């Protein structure tokens, strides 16, 4: 009887853990909440077809001079006025704590306004890829903490290496508060053709050494958020952090295997 009681307690406990893990998985849609907006399923694709917008404006003129960002970035307008991705899901970058956040709002054609926030002692970065594979000469925008002042770099990310290059980006603003780095900027997004196309997004962190030359100053980025393919022109696009999603899915699968094993052992003991 004692063995049966122990097996029963273990089975109930693991069932409870499995239910909690499933609830976490369903909460992984990282689009920030919008009052009155419907909540989408975790891995649902966008309900609207990708926005095909011909370039109505020329590429932006490059100017990466950084001016102070007067107020903290927040998640106002996410899901209605701008596309947002965050980790943890639904975090507000204006609140102190570990929150990685990227927003994109279309100006005209392929020109977008971006907001980037994250926690790092070195730099945070936003990578835009025209395919599902990150790191193949993808446009990457870097906001680095240089003794409390933001340094901005436009780069290409290739095989884990950031190479500083001129990209069509301007209107850069930045602020540092403790380990929180935030910046806003306008950029002409990379596209596979002349129309705004869906992109894979990534937010990363890395080391920064201001004493070195620009290319050597930036360490390899470590991704904190990597999205499914997202349509930047559609604020209602569902964005899922595939890094966290894959981790929780694996944990749930292992828990289910343990539940089945405990159940079989219990039956054998009867």
The answer to whether position 36 is within a domain reads: no
| pLDDT tier at 28, thresholds 50, 70, 90 | very low
What's residue 96's pLDDT?
83
19 and 122 fall within a common domain:
no
The pLDDT of residue 26 is: 38
Note whether residue 35 is domain-resident: no
Does position 247 have pLDDT exceeding 60, yes or no?
no
Query: Mean pLDDT, to the nearest integer, of 232-238?
Result: 92
Q: Provide the sign of the torsion angle of the four alpha carbons 165, 136, 101, 31, taken in this order.
A: positive
11 and 66 assigned to the same domain: no
- Output 195 or 82, whichever has higher pLDDT: 82
Domain identity same for 194 and 257:
no
| Residues 37-45, mean pLDDT to the nearest whole number | 40
- Containing structural domain, residue 69: 51-240
Instruction: Compute, in degrees rounded to 10, the torsion defined by CA atoms 147, 148, 154, 157.
Output: 70
Q: What is the dihedral of CA 69, 75, 96, 177, to 10 degrees?
A: -10
Same domain assignment for residues 117 and 186: yes
Residues 176 and 128 in one domain: yes
- Asked whether residue 79 is domain-assigned, the answer is yes
Phi, psi of 83, deg, nearest 5: -80, 140
- On the question of pLDDT at 24 being above 50, the answer is no
What is the average pLDDT value for the chain, to the nearest integer? 79
User: Is pLDDT at 264 greater than 50 in this prediction?
Assistant: no
Residues 235 and 253 both lie in one domain: no
Would residue 148 count as lying in a domain? yes
In this structure, the answer to whether residues 16 and 117 fall within a common structural domain is no
Token duo for residue 212: 């070195």
Same domain for 206 and 265, yes or no, is no
Q: Say how many domains are in the chain.
A: 2
Half-sphere exposure of 75 (CA within 13 A, CB side): 23
Q: How confident is the model at residue 57 (pLDDT cuts 50, 70, 90)?
A: confident
The Cα-based distances of 73 to 38, 103, 189 in angstroms read 24, 10, 21
- pLDDT number for residue 150: 98
Q: What was the pLDDT predicted at 127?
A: 97
Average pLDDT (21-26) is 40
In a domain, 193, yes or no: yes
Q: Tell me what the mean pLDDT of segment 13-26 comes to.
A: 44
Task: Please indicate, yes or no, whether residues 9 and 90 belong to a single structural domain of this protein.
Answer: no
Q: Which of 36-45, 141-150, 197-206 has the highest mean pLDDT?
A: 141-150
- The answer to whether residues 258 and 148 belong to one domain is no
Would you state the pLDDT for residue 249? 36
pLDDT digits (tens, 9 = 90+) for 186-208: 999 998 655 556 899 999 999 99
Q: Which pLDDT belongs to residue 139? A: 97
Q: What pLDDT is stored for residue 30 in this prediction?
A: 39
pLDDT at 134: 86
Which pair of structure tokens corresponds to residue 13?
């406990």
| 183 inside domain | yes
Q: How confident is the model at residue 175 (pLDDT cuts 50, 70, 90)?
A: very high
How much is the pLDDT for 198?
85
Look at residue 258 in the predicted model and tell me its pLDDT.
43
CATH for 68: 2.60.40
Domain check: are 128 and 262 in the same one? Answer: no
135 in the same domain as 261: no
Which of 166-175, 226-235, 237-246 has the weakest average pLDDT?
237-246
Q: Is residue 177 part of a domain?
A: yes
Q: Classify residue 9: in a domain, yes or no.
A: yes
């Amino acid at each position: 009887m004692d063995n049966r009681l122990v097996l029963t307690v273990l089975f109930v406990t693991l069932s409870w853990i499995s239910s909690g893990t499933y609830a976490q998985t369903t909460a992984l849609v990282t689009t920030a909440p919008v009052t009155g907006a419907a909540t989408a399923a975790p891995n649902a694709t966008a309900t609207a077809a990708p926005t095909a917008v011909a370039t109505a404006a020329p590429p932006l003129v490059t100017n990466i001079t950084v001016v102070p960002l007067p107020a903290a970035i927040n998640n106002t307008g996410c899901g209605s006025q701008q596309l947002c991705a965050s980790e943890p899901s639904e975090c507000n970058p204006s609140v102190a704590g570990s929150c990685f956040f990227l927003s994109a709002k279309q100006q005209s054609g392929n020109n977008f306004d971006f907001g980037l926030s994250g926690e790092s002692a070195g730099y945070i970065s936003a990578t835009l890829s025209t395919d599902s594979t990150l790191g193949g000469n993808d446009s990457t925008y870097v906001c680095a903490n240089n003794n409390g002042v933001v340094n901005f770099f436009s780069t290409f990310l290739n095989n884990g290496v950031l190479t500083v290059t001129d990209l069509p980006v301007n209107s850069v603003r930045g602020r540092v508060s403790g380990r929180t780095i935030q910046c806003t900027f306008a950029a002409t997004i990379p596209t596979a053709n002349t129309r705004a196309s869906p992109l894979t997004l990534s937010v990363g962190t890395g080391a920064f050494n201001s004493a070195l030359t620009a290319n050597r100053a930036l360490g390899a980025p470590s991704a904190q958020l990597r999205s499914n393919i997202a349509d930047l022109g559609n604020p209602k696009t569902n964005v899922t952090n595939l890094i966290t999603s894959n981790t929780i899915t694996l944990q749930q699968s292992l828990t289910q295997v343990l539940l089945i094993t405990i159940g079989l052992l219990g039956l054998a003991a009867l």
